Chains A and B, each alone.
Chain A
Amino acid sequence: MTNSLRPDGRKPHEMRPIEADAGLIDQADGSARFKIGDTEAYASVYGPQELHPRHKQDPKQGKLRCEYNMLPFAGDGSRVRPGFSRRGEEISHVTTKALEPAVDLSEYPNAVVDVHIELTQTDAGSRCAGICAGSMALADAGIPMTDIVPAVSAGKIDDTIVVDLNGEEEHLGGNETPDLPVALIPRDETFSLMQLDGILTRDDLKECVETVKPALLDIAEKQQEALRSQYDTGVES
């Protein structure tokens, strides 16, 4: 990497520009938008509500159910076929697992909280953007949460550890760029998502994890600020 700059001119530890806001979908119980670079996710939350089919109900606590979906025009040019996909199913599952540790549904036995994440455009890092939007929408819906969940990816280009890969970087050198999406529960400093695509040495992995932490905390602050700022009515209090 010449001059330690990346294809879009960013420094190695620099994320793409972030936009976040909450409470934009009236019909949903909670909603949020999270945009990082050219990747944009909308999340809407419905519930707690009755869970059907009934055999899936858990009498001990409520369930969290996330659904990740890319809109047909959200891909890199070719149309994304709507409906079920293996990839979508996997990401829905890991998103649920990433958000679960932060929510407390013990007050809602047998019920379900649904999180629908729609990607309107993607340029890598879509599951991370989805998790960011999802956790904000859950908070906006008034679901009890012990923490907010930020997520972003790390990777390695040539010999440099970088944060928040975009699509172009992911495809450098014939899709060989190692790419590590992570989600953090900031208060416990535990990771609720960590998937690796590619090959990293143990030391590189450690460096990746250390490098993304400040970025994740930065995102968490932006998420919290977006949640609070929706109540700036402009009325003197």
Chain B
Amino acid sequence: MGTILVEEKDIVAPGETLAEGMDYIPGKGTFRDDDEIISKGLSLINIDGSVIKGIPMNGRYVPQEGDRVIGRVKDILMSGWKIDINSAYDSMLPLKDASHDYIEKGSDLTRYFDLGDYVAVKITSVSTQKIVDITAKGQGLQKLEGGRIIEVNPQKVPRIIGSRGSMISIIKKALDCNIFVGQNGYAWLNAEPENEVKAIQAIRRIEREAHTNGLTERISDMLDHDQGDES
């Protein structure tokens, strides 16, 4: 019979044995070595039926098709823009995917996106060699003007957003703050300066306590308290 040696939400280091026997299946972040399942990194355990997964606690962003990310214009080429997406690989924003307008070849591309501009984009394709193509066309995708950009741990982004956006909408509502969190760990906030600062504090706390239970309540308490102090 197989035995499982870890529990949901345990934190495990690389090389740790998670389960013995063939009753469990190694998911992402784990691997099988003979009849043992081993952790493949410093990660948080997620048990889904008989599948054991390890969610990394840390790490740079690896581009994935369909992700909505925030990029910074790094260079302007003949055929489009080279965009830094906070990863080991740059991405290309081709002319045809940059705007709903028709952009004539050879026209002044800085009119659309200039060097250093931040843009909310979506990843359209990632090749095996990590050549990344993106688009700026789509709902919510646009040049980000005003507000501020912060960097967060890309592995914590799902927790910051919450299930179906629950966590982020608490912050948005409480502080009347416009927030876009890219999967790549860049987040854009736009509100009254004091509220931006409060939103950042809330996000930092989510990052720190991402692996704990009952976080949504703690964050909403924290924000309620802030409101109380002001009045």
Residues in A lying within 8 Å of B, measured CB to CB: 29-30, 47-50, 59, 62, 102, 104, 107-111, 139-148, 186-187, 220, 223-225, 227-228, 231, 233, 235-237
Q: Quick check: is B31 within 8 A (CB to CB) of the other chain?
A: yes
Could you say which interface size class chain B belongs to? 20 to 34
Compute how far the CA of A198 lies from the CA of B29 in the bound complex, rounded to whole angstroms.
42
The minimal Cβ–Cβ distance linking B148 to chain A, given in whole angstroms, is 19
Given contacts A108-B62, A144-B29, 7 further A-B contacts (CB under 8 A): A29-B58, A47-B60, A48-B60, A142-B60, A145-B14, A148-B15, A231-B211
Compute how far the CA of A48 lies from the CA of B89 in the bound complex, rounded to whole angstroms.
9
Tell me the residues in window 7-42 of chain B with beta carbons closer than 8 Å to chain A beta carbons: 9, 11-16, 29, 31, 33, 38, 40-42
**Cross-chain contact A139 with B62 (CB below 8 angstroms):** no
Compute how far the CA of A228 lies from the CA of B54 in the bound complex, rounded to whole angstroms.
14
Residues of A within 8 A of B42 (CB): 139-140, 142, 227-228
Compute how far the CA of A7 lies from the CA of B16 in the bound complex, rounded to whole angstroms.
36
The winner among A30, A144, A186, A220 for most chain B CB atoms within 10 A is A144
**Cross-chain contact A227 with B60 (CB below 8 angstroms):** no
Compute how far the CA of A141 lies from the CA of B208 in the bound complex, rounded to whole angstroms.
15
Compute how far the CA of A147 lies from the CA of B209 in the bound complex, rounded to whole angstroms.
26
Residues of A within 8 A of B200 (CB): none
Of the candidates B15, B57, B89, the one whose C-beta lies within 8 Å of that of A186 is B15
Compute how far the CA of A225 lies from the CA of B211 in the bound complex, rounded to whole angstroms.
17
Residue interface bits B200-224, CB-to-A below 8 A is 1, else 0? 0000000011011110001000000
Of the candidates B33, B57, B88, B208, the one whose C-beta lies within 8 Å of that of A142 is B57
Across the A-B interface, how many residue pairs have beta carbons closer than 8 Å? 101
> Given A233-B209, A237-B212, A59–B14 Cβ distance below 8 Å?
no
**Cross-chain contact A148 with B13 (CB below 8 angstroms):** yes
> Given A139-B14, A146-B31, A237–B58 Cβ distance below 8 Å?
no
18 contacts between A and B (CB under 8 A): A48-B60, A49-B88, A109-B128, A109-B129, A111-B88, A111-B130, A142-B41, A142-B56, A144-B40, A145-B41, A224-B13, A224-B15, A224-B16, A228-B42, A235-B209, A235-B218, A236-B214, A237-B212
Q: Quick check: is B135 within 8 A (CB to CB) of the other chain?
A: no
Q: Quick check: is B59 within 8 A (CB to CB) of the other chain?
A: yes
Residues of B within 8 A of A30 (CB): 58
Chain A: which residue is nearest B28 at the CB level? A144
**Cross-chain contact A142 with B15 (CB below 8 angstroms):** no
**Cross-chain contact B59 with A110 (CB below 8 angstroms):** no
Residues of A within 8 A of B212 (CB): 233, 235-237
Q: Quick check: is B155 within 8 A (CB to CB) of the other chain?
A: yes
**Cross-chain contact B62 with A143 (CB below 8 angstroms):** no
Residues of A within 8 A of B208 (CB): 233
Residue interface bits B127-149, CB-to-A below 8 A is 1, else 0? 01110000000000000000000
**Cross-chain contact B89 with A111 (CB below 8 angstroms):** yes
**Cross-chain contact B57 with A237 (CB below 8 angstroms):** no
**Cross-chain contact A102 with B9 (CB below 8 angstroms):** no
The minimal Cβ–Cβ distance linking A143 to chain B, given in whole angstroms, is 7
**Cross-chain contact B129 with A110 (CB below 8 angstroms):** yes
The minimal Cβ–Cβ distance linking B186 to chain A, given in whole angstroms, is 15
**Cross-chain contact B14 with A148 (CB below 8 angstroms):** yes
Compute how far the CA of A87 lies from the CA of B4 in the bound complex, rounded to whole angstroms.
46
Compute how far the CA of A233 lies from the CA of B213 in the bound complex, rounded to whole angstroms.
12
The minimal Cβ–Cβ distance linking B210 to chain A, given in whole angstroms, is 9
**Cross-chain contact A187 with B41 (CB below 8 angstroms):** no
Residues of B within 8 A of A104 (CB): 40
Residues of A within 8 A of B11 (CB): 228, 231
Residues of B within 8 A of A236 (CB): 212, 214
Residues of B within 8 A of A47 (CB): 60, 88
Residues of A within 8 A of B40 (CB): 104, 144-146
Compute how far the CA of A144 lies from the CA of B130 in the bound complex, rounded to whole angstroms.
17
Residues of B within 8 A of A146 (CB): 14-15, 31, 38, 40
